Amino acid sequence: MRVLGIVQGVGFRPWIYNLARRHGLGGFVLNSPRGVFIEVEGPRSAIDAFLAGMLHETPPLVRIADIERVEIPATGETAFVIRESDAKGSAFALVPPDICVCEACLADSRDAANRRFDYPFTNCTNCGPRYSIILDVPYDRSMTTMAEFAMCADCRREYEDPANRRFHAQPNACPICGPRLFLKVSGEVQAPLSAREILTRVAGFLAEGGIVAWKGLAGYQLACDATQPAAVGELRRRKRRSEKPFAVMVADAGVAATLCDVSAAERAVLVSRERPIVLLRRRPGSPLAEAVSPVNPATGVMLPCTPMHDLLFRTLRERWGREAALIMTSGNISEEPIVIENAEAEERLAGIADVFVHHNRRIHTRVDDSVVRVVLGETMLLRRARGYAPQPVFLGRGDAEVLAVGAQQKNTLCLTRAGFALPSQHLGDLENFETLRFFEETLERMKRLFHAQPIAVAHDLHPGYLSTQLALKMEGLRRIAVQHHHAHIASCMAEHRLEGRVIGVAWDGTGLGTDQTIWGGEFLAAGYLSFDRFARLRPVLLPGGDAGVREPWRVARSYLLDALGSVPAGAPWEQMASPERLRIVDTMLQRRVNTIPTSSAGRLFDAVASLIGLRHSVSFEGQAAMMLEAAAQEFLHASHDAPSYEFLLTARHPPEPRELDFRPMIRQMIEDHAARESQARVAARFHATLVAAITALCVKMRGELGLDRVCLSGGCFQNALLLQGSVEALRGEGFQVFSHHEVPANDGGISLGQAAIACEILASDRS
Ligand SMILES: [Zn+2]
Ligand SMILES: [Zn+2]
């Protein structure tokens, strides 16, 4: 048998070994660059039982994608053995993500009688670092950053005993032979201290409002006491992060529930082995400082993912006499990549952290913390990184090797290999040199790790994206340009392995259209090879390019002029900006100078937030939309009296797409606002209108095109109200509705769509 899937570094071989022995079979299991090979010999009934066990009793981290089987003559083998890795052949193996410490290892590290008591690097075949420490496949200790630690006799005994939980656990380690923590204060390494002594000192620093940097599972993290406003404010100042929410770490789900509302589904994600940051609704009177997530009722919470974090929280509980809540944010400056090396940390984070907790296990691949949200009881990824990357999406669209370089913001890249799409971890916004370097570093490492040699590169249509520029510079690769929203829909299709054509609702902030205008409120009839733009939001003028994104009031002026012909007198429309700036922008709009038409739904959210006086300028993209959603959620908590406003759908003038015209809604909103209707209710009615409009358009498309599957993609569908409302309304109309679970709905998921489209183009060219 040849087994493909995530079968290396996840306890697959020992499990097969035990399974084969249980059924009295002879043969072997062998890790190879081409997958895991298994030979079994014995009575037919025992082999059948073995096969049934393989499919139904798999260990937690194993993902079997495919099993090839052939029958060969018996050789009289009675013993079952694990053979040495075979390093020859065309190397390809899927690599598991980094996963949190398992219950059994946690118990070891909490047990004063265990030789791993308080040991921060305790792990086994079911848990611990993987992607971040693997240099190459086949996955053996020599191919990881653990190679430099020689196992002690006790560890080796565990490693070689098939009955042991640590049998062939490549990062196996203990306090005698494994990595160690060390503490650096004011540039001085403190005399040898135990992990507990170090974290006791750290507890003291944190109590005094200090900021500590430590090396986590796959990157440095910065921490301070989340209940001390001064400490949180200082971290914001030093990290140059004005309002973007910080994540918080607490000891367990019980403590999380004292700070935030935690549903059963949210609790399940919090304690899952991926251990992402989960966005939760803060409880009234929570002790978290306001500055943790200003003007935002949601807070990102995560639980400890390594024995070190667990030991830290145990120590804090002892020293502080209460449950701690720590800010736990990426060790970086502003939007730069997360720091992984000790020297790099001290250099780059010198102005931020007072104290450093390093360790001497190298992180090979930097992976940030993941961020998720639960909608309709299911996990929705906002940032796909630690715990998820590099988990594959099985495309099954031929074995062409392509590279997709993603978009500009929230960039990820994606390689395809042996029928799998391999989306990278979150890389960031490709606007600074460091992120660009991170992109190139990740591309090189993934190509080497997965032994991929792409023959084509898929990129966005936008010539200004740095990802596009990189793609265009690559020699000898076929270039495939993919429209942004087409890629969004294809990524949703690929996740669900949909064929044929679907209704694609692609709503986001910005993407270049085939007509050189900015799209973002699109209704596409789409397959992998092509799409038709059935309808769009009625375009408005966006004054002043990028400034229009940071200052929602600009697009609000545009919507006002479009809907009313002039801007009404009164608050908040006179207070959006200084009279001088308002006059300049109004003139730009009236004369159509330095403006660009956009059908962006993201900009509509911005405009509405400003129109009702919620927010006129933002410190990060999507902030206005977040506040609008939060206001609407607030209202809907108390009441459901939020009927939709009116909208129009224009008739068809081929080849122009139909237009979804929200001018009637804008006029009604202005009236509501003038009549002192609450911002929260207007926000709720706005969301109801969007849901009604999406549903009406999809019904129209089904009527004309006969399509009844809807894919919802684009950053706007990270808005829980919009996503949940649309899914429920569309299902109510009898549609099959698909949204994202494997990759983010935002631009972080686009590289998967680009890759799927490129594979399909290559496959159709060949046939
Ligand atoms: Zn474990
Ligand atoms: Zn040891």
Q: What pLDDT digit, counting tens, does each position of 369-410 carry?
A: 999 999 999 999 999 999 999 999 988 777 899 999 999 999
Model pLDDT for residues 469-501, shown as the tens digit of each residue: 999 999 999 999 999 999 999 999 999 999 999
Per-residue confidence band for 86, with pLDDT thresholds at 50, 70 and 90: low
Helix (H, G, I), strand (E, B) or coil at 210: coil
Cα distance between residue 27 and residue 42, in whole Å: 9
Cα distance between residue 415 and residue 81, in whole Å: 35
Q: What is the mean pLDDT of residues 706-722?
A: 97
Strands (E), 431-517: 456-460, 478-482, 502-512
Per-chain mean pLDDT for the chain: 94
pLDDT cut 70: percent of the chain above it: 99
SS (H, E, C) 436-504: HHHHHHHHHHHHHHCCCCCCEEEEECCCCCHHHHHHHHCCCCEEEEECHHHHHHHHHHHHCCCCCCEEE
Per-residue confidence band for 31, with pLDDT thresholds at 50, 70 and 90: confident
**For position 476, what pLDDT does the model report?**
95
**Alpha carbon of 105 to ligand 1 centroid (Å):** 4
**For position 184, what pLDDT does the model report?**
95
**For position 178, what pLDDT does the model report?**
97
* Closest listed residue to residue 467, CA positions, set 751, 753, 756: 751
Residue pair 716/601 in contact (Cβ under 8 Å)? The answer is: yes
Q: What is the mean pLDDT of residues 238-246?
A: 91
Q: Rg of the Cα trace of the chain?
A: 27
**Alpha carbon of 309 to ligand 2 centroid (Å):** 21
Residue 685 gets which letter from DSSP? H
Cα distance between residue 272 and residue 121, in whole Å: 19
Q: What is the dihedral of CA 722, 724, 726, 729, to 10 degrees?
A: -140
Q: Which two tokens stand for residue 59?
A: 């260990």
Amino acid identity for residue 337 in this structure: P
**Alpha carbon of 4 to ligand 2 centroid (Å):** 32
**Alpha carbon of 216 to ligand 1 centroid (Å):** 17
Per-residue confidence band for 140, with pLDDT thresholds at 50, 70 and 90: confident
Find which of 181-195, 614-628, 701-715 is predicted with most confidence, using mean pLDDT.
701-715
Amino acid identity for residue 289 in this structure: A
pLDDT cut 90: percent of the chain above it: 82
Query: Cα–chain-centroid distance for residue 766?
Result: 34
* Closest listed residue to residue 605, CA positions, set 761, 716, 479: 716
Ligand (nearest to CA of 180): 2
- Cα distances from 98 to residues 115, 308, 387, 426, in angstroms, run 24, 15, 5, 14
Residue 727 pLDDT > 80, yes or no?
A: yes
* Closest listed residue to residue 426, CA positions, set 182, 739, 748, 645: 748
Amino acid identity for residue 42 in this structure: G
Ligand (nearest to CA of 154): 2
Q: What is the mean pLDDT of residues 36-45?
A: 94
Find which of 237-251, 626-640, 693-707 is predicted with most confidence, using mean pLDDT.
693-707
Torsion sign, CA atoms 387, 250, 723, 667? negative
Residue 582 pLDDT > 80, yes or no?
A: yes
Half-sphere exposure of 417 (CA within 13 A, CB side): 25
Model pLDDT for residues 417-430, shown as the tens digit of each residue: 988 999 999 999 99
Q: What is the mean pLDDT of residues 741-751?
A: 97
**Alpha carbon of 743 to ligand 1 centroid (Å):** 27
* Closest listed residue to residue 490, CA positions, set 713, 697, 717: 713
**Alpha carbon of 7 to ligand 2 centroid (Å):** 25
Q: What is the mean pLDDT of residues 427-434?
A: 91
Model pLDDT for residues 305-316, shown as the tens digit of each residue: 999 999 999 999
Half-sphere exposure of 244 (CA within 13 A, CB side): 13
Q: Which two tokens stand for residue 673?
A: 């606002």
Torsion sign, CA atoms 487, 492, 495, 498? negative
**Alpha carbon of 307 to ligand 1 centroid (Å):** 10
**Length of the chain as a residue count:** 767
Residue 90 pLDDT > 60, yes or no?
A: no
**Alpha carbon of 143 to ligand 2 centroid (Å):** 19
Model pLDDT for residues 144-164, shown as the tens digit of each residue: 999 999 999 999 999 999 889
Residue pair 611/626 in contact (Cβ under 8 Å)? The answer is: no
Cα distance between residue 499 and residue 512, in whole Å: 25
Q: Which two tokens stand for residue 326?
A: 């720590």
Q: What is the mean pLDDT of residues 582-594?
A: 93
- Cα distances from 303 to residues 40, 117, 497, 728, in angstroms, run 42, 20, 33, 31
Q: How many CB atoms lie within 10 A of CB 59?
A: 13
Ligand (nearest to CA of 158): 2
Q: Which two tokens stand for residue 515?
A: 């007509």
* Closest listed residue to residue 483, CA positions, set 449, 436, 530, 525: 530
Cα distance between residue 612 and residue 573, in whole Å: 8
Cα distance between residue 197 and residue 118, in whole Å: 10
Cα distance between residue 558 and residue 87, in whole Å: 63
Residue 568 pLDDT > 70, yes or no?
A: yes
Cα distance between residue 422 and residue 402, in whole Å: 10
Amino acid identity for residue 696 in this structure: A
Q: What is the dihedral of CA 23, 27, 33, 35, to 10 degrees?
A: -40
Q: What is the dihedral of CA 14, 15, 20, 21, to 10 degrees?
A: 70
**For position 58, what pLDDT does the model report?**
83
Cα distance between residue 715 and residue 537, in whole Å: 16
Residue 302 pLDDT > 80, yes or no?
A: yes
Per-residue confidence band for 55, with pLDDT thresholds at 50, 70 and 90: confident
* φ, ψ for residue 483, nearest 5 deg: -65, 140
The neighbourhood of ligand 1, an ion, using CB within 5 A, equals 102, 105, 124, 126-127
